[in-house]
Amino acid sequence: MTDPGISQDQSMEMTGTITGMWDDEAIIAARLPREKVFISERISRGGYGEVYLGLFNDETIAVKMLLSETRKSISHVNKFLSEVKMMAMMEHPRITKFIGVAWDSLADLCVVSEYMAGGDLRAQLNKYDETGHQKGFDKTKVKMALHVAHALTYMHSLEPSVIHRDLKSKNILLNGDPDAKLTDFGISRERVDQTMTARVGTSLWMAPEVMLGEKYDDKADIFSFGVVLSELDSHSLPYSHTKESSNSDRKMPDAVILQQVMLGKLSVQFTQSTFQSMTDLGLACVSIDPDARLTSVEALGRLRHILSQEM
């Protein structure tokens, strides 16, 4: 039955998309029986999809589905399928485990992945703030950063390398000790001299060259990683220290922040009490010049050294 909100042309295009799924080897290989994927409570909701707690083969899982309104958009459906294919090709202990994809129709199309009981890093940092957890870096936070650096090093070492393009605290999931894993590959791409408009991705974490629509490479992820390091340090959202003026307590508007970052007049800050080596690492990641930033391998090496020698 056709959704009353979808035109006949859209319906035919959607049917072609679903039919085309059968021709994609990665999706066929990852297909799960839809009747064996059980869905319970909603965990989170994003711009075009929502994530539910679920069960598959007696294993607790996370189930991502399109919102009812975005199922009507062929671009959102294709973006969703691109994420499936990207997740299916990656296997690393610091990236959320992809289990499969299931559907009987477009209405119940879903991606199944491992469930991370600790929630996302942004929520954890909010809890830290609420409970008076000490700012700066401790062993736990450095381990989280190390885990993310492992994931980036893996992605950037693939041939062709994969750029996440939406690295932020909300896309880092936690489990246990803590285990930190990278998730949400909805706009990730294999590197081919990328350009991307500033409307794609998450602006406050975005590298200046991406905001400007210039060509970029995996160093764009490194900039975002540096911004995440500032969040781990302060528990606050990026650039929360900025004010409209010297006599105002109001935060600078995002549009002004972005302009200042693009001009090299504003950068993330680190608390004075934190390890100098972590401050140096963070600042080396957020240089306005991509060539001056560390590589993921270099960042990983520094974090390993800090964890083994300074913690």
- By annotation, the residues acting in catalysis are 166
Alpha carbon distances (Å) from 156 to 24, 105, 230, 296: 24, 35, 22, 7
CA end-to-end span of the chain: 60
Q: How far is CA 78 from the centre of its chain?
A: 18
| Cα dihedral value 161, 165, 167, 170, nearest 10 | -130
Task: Count other C-beta atoms under 10 Å from residue 123's C-beta.
Answer: 15
Among 267, 269, 240, residue whose Cα is nearest residue 253: 240
| Cα dihedral value 250, 251, 257, 263, nearest 10 | 70
Are 250 and 256 within 8 A, CB to CB? no
